Amino acid sequence: MSKSSEEEHPQKALGWAARDSSGTLSPFHFSRRENGDDDVTVKIFYCGVCHSDLHTVRNDWGFTRYPVVPGHEIVGVATKVGNNVTKFKASDRVGVGVMVGSCKTCECCQQDLENYCPRVIFTYNSHNPDGTINYGGYSDMIVVDQRYVVRFPDNLPMDAGAPLLCAGITVYSPMKYYGMTDAGKHLGVAGLGGLGHVAVKIAKAFGLKVTVISSSPSKESEAINRLGADSFLVSSDPSKMKSAIGTMDYIIDTVSAVHPLLPLLTLLKVNGKLVTVGLPNKSLELPIFPLVLGRKLIGGSDAGGMKETQEMLDFCAKHNISADIELIRMDNINTAMERLAKSDVRYRFVIDVANSLSQ
Amino acid sequence: MTRLPEEEHPNKAFGWAARDTSGVLSPFKFSRRATGEKDVAFKVLYSGICHSDLHMVKNEWGSSVYPLVPGHEIVGEVTAVGSKVQKFKVGDRVGVGCMVGSCQSCDSCTNKLENYCPKMILTYGAKYYDGTITYGGYSNNMVADEHFIVRIPDNLPLDAAAPLLCAGITVYSPLRYYGLDKPDLHVGVVGLGGLGHVAVKFAKAMGAKVTVISTSPNKKKEALEKLGADSFLVSRDQEQLQAAIGTLDGIIDTVSAQHPLLPLIGLLKTHGKLVLVGAPEKPLELPAFPLLQGRKIVGGSMIGGMKETQEMMDFAAKHSVKPDVEVIPMDYVNTAMERLLKADVKYRFVIDIGNTLKAA
Nearest CA among B243, B262, B264, B245 for reference residue B253: B264
Q: Which residue of A270, A285, A287 is in closest CB contact with B108?
A: A270
Which residues of A, range 169-198, sit inside 8 Å of B by Cβ? 177
Q: Which residue of A250, A295, A296, A298 to mutate against B (max B Cβ within 10 Å)?
A: A295
pLDDT in tens, A8-54: 899 999 999 999 999 999 999 999 999 999 999 999 999 999 999 99
- 3-state SS assignment for residue A199: helix
Would the CB atoms of B300 and A302 count as touching at under 8 Å?
no
* pLDDT value, residue B253: 98
* pLDDT value, residue A6: 86
* pLDDT value, residue A3: 77
How much helix, strand and coil, in percent to the nearest 5, is found in chain B?
A: 30, 30, 45
B245: confidence class by pLDDT, cuts 50, 70, 90: very high
pLDDT in tens, B136-152: 999 999 999 999 999 99
A52 at interface of B, judged by CB pairs closer than 8 A: no
Upper half-sphere CA count for residue A152 (Cβ side, 13 Å): 28
pLDDT in tens, B73-111: 999 999 999 999 999 999 999 999 999 999 999 999 999
* pLDDT value, residue A2: 65
Nearest CA among B234, B223, B41 for reference residue B144: B41
Candidate from A101-110, A274-283, A294-303, B157-166 with smallest mean pLDDT? A274-283
* pLDDT value, residue B69: 98
pLDDT in tens, A128-155: 988 999 999 999 999 999 999 999 999 9
A279: confidence class by pLDDT, cuts 50, 70, 90: confident
Would the CB atoms of B285 and A294 count as touching at under 8 Å?
no
Distance CA B210, CA B183 (A): 11
What is the percentage of chain B residues whose pLDDT exceeds 70?
Answer: 99
Kindly identify which residue of chain A lies nearest to residue B106, measuring between CA atoms: A270
Upper half-sphere CA count for residue B307 (Cβ side, 13 Å): 7
Chain B CB contacts of A291 below 8 Å: 276, 298-300
Q: Which residue of A103, A245, A252, A288 to mutate against B (max B Cβ within 10 Å)?
A: A288
A348: confidence class by pLDDT, cuts 50, 70, 90: very high
Identify the CATH homologous superfamily for domain A11-166+324-352: Medium-chain alcohol dehydrogenases, catalytic domain (3.90.180.10)
B164: confidence class by pLDDT, cuts 50, 70, 90: very high
Would the CB atoms of B270 and A300 count as touching at under 8 Å?
no
Kindly identify which residue of chain B lies nearest to residue A61, measuring between CA atoms: B289
- 3-state SS assignment for residue A342: coil
| Confidence check: pLDDT of A277 > 70 | yes
* pLDDT value, residue B268: 98
Give chain B's mean pLDDT.
Answer: 96
CA distance A276 to chain B (A): 8
Domain ranges of chain A: 11-166+324-352, 167-300
A257: confidence class by pLDDT, cuts 50, 70, 90: confident
Which residues of A, range 55-84, sit inside 8 Å of B by Cβ? none
Enter the pTM of the model.
0.94
**For residue B121, what are the CA distances in angstroms to B104, B114, B148?**
12, 9, 11
* pLDDT value, residue B204: 98
Distance CA B214, CA B218 (A): 10
Q: What is the mean pLDDT of residues A251-271?
A: 94
B360: confidence class by pLDDT, cuts 50, 70, 90: low
CATH number given to A167-300:
3.40.50.720
Chain A CB contacts of B294 below 8 Å: 116, 300
ipTM for the assembly: 0.92
* pLDDT value, residue B3: 78
pLDDT in tens, B297-322: 999 999 999 999 999 999 999 999 99
Distance CA B131, CA B273 (A): 41
Q: What is the mean pLDDT of residues A273-299?
A: 93
CA distance B353 to chain A (A): 31
Please state whether the peptide bond connecting residue A347 to the residue before it is cis, i.e. omega within 30 degrees of 0: yes
* pLDDT value, residue A359: 56
DSSP string, B196-249: HHHHHHHHHHTT-EEEEEES-GGGHHHHHHTS--SEEEETT-HHHHHHTTT-EE
Tally Cβ neighbours within 10 Å of residue A242: 10
